[in-house]
Structure 1
Amino acid sequence: MNESKSAPCIGQIVLVKKGRDASQFAVIIQNIDGRFVLIADGHKRKFDSPKKKNIQHLICYDYVSPVIQDSIVETGRVTNGKLRWALEKFVEEVVDVFEKGDEFDG
C-alpha cells in the first residue's frame, strides 16, 4: 500500500493528516481543483455534506474503490452505505495485512 504520486481521483481512499478528522480514512468524492478535494466517509461526513480538504493534508493511497467511482460517474452520487462499505473493505483487506507483521512503507 503505497502513497499515490498522481493526482487524486474519485473513489480514492485517503487518510486525513490534519484537522478535526485527523487519522481517519475517507473517500474522495469530487476534485475541486488541483489543490482541493471533497471527502466523505458515510459516518460523520455524509455524501451530502462532505469536507473540503487541501490535498497536502491527506495521504492518498493507490487504492480506488470501483464501486464508489462507478456510482459517482454513472449517477453523480453515492450512498453513505457504499462509502462505509468501501472504507471497511479497504481496512479489512489492506490495513489489517500490516497489523499481521508485514512491512508498511506508507
Structure 2
Amino acid sequence: MNKAITLQIGQVVSILRGKGAEQYAVVVSIEDSKYVKIADGHKIKFDQAKKKNVLHLLPHSFISSEVVNSLQESGRVTNGKLRFAVSRFCSENPNADQKGE
C-alpha cells in the first residue's frame, strides 16, 4: 500500500498533521521522494521553511506561477508572494477556509 504522492514546486497543500494542521502552505522545495519544504509567508517564513513528510500533506491542483517563476529566476521567493498565493487559492475555492490568520 505504498502510494506515491507527487508534489510540484509552487503547489498549494493542506497540512494534515502537526502544529499547523488544517492550514495551507506552498511547496518551496522538494528534498526527495518522501520530504518537501513548505512555507506560507505568515507563520512559516521562506527562510525557515518547514520540512514535511508528503504523507502529512494534502495536495491541491492549484500551482502558483508567481512562486514558480521567482524560484526559477532567483532561487528565492518573498513571503508576500507566498501569502498572495495562499490567499488567491482561498479566494478561488470558496469551501477553503484560511485558518490561523
Question: Runs of 5+ in structure 2 lacking a partner?
Answer: 97-101
Question: Runs of 5+ in structure 1 lacking a partner?
Answer: 100-106
Q: What is the Cα deviation at residue 37 of structure 1? A: 0.1
- Which residue matches 2:58? 59
Q: Could you state the TM-score of these two structures normalised by the residue count of structure 2?
A: 0.88
Q: Report the Cα distance in structure 2 between the residues aligned to 1:6 and 1:75, rounded to whole angstroms.
A: 27
Q: Which runs of at least 4 in structure 1 moved beyond 6 Å after TM superposition? A: none
Secondary structure of 1:37 counterpart: strand
Q: What is the Cα deviation at residue 7 of structure 1? A: 1.3
Do the aligned partners of 2:41 and 2:82 also contact (CA within 8 Å) in 1?
Answer: yes
Give a deviation string over 1:80-105, Cα, whole Å, max 9, x none. Answer: 000001100000012x1x37xxxxxx
Kindly report the root-mean-square deviation, in angstroms, between the aligned alpha carbons of the 2 structures. 1.3
Percent sequence identity is: 44
Secondary structure of 1:90 counterpart: helix
Q: What is the Cα deviation at residue 6 of structure 1? A: 5.5
Q: What is the Cα deviation at residue 35 of structure 1? A: 0.3
Q: What is the Cα deviation at residue 50 of structure 1? A: 0.6
- Which residue matches 2:99? none
Q: Report the Cα distance in structure 2 between the residues aligned to 1:73 and 1:60, rounded to whole angstroms.
A: 21
Q: Report the Cα distance in structure 2 between the residues aligned to 1:27 and 1:69, rounded to whole angstroms.
A: 10
Q: Could you state the TM-score of these two structures normalised by the residue count of structure 1?
A: 0.84
Aligned pairs for 1:69-80 (under 5 A) are: 69-80=68-79
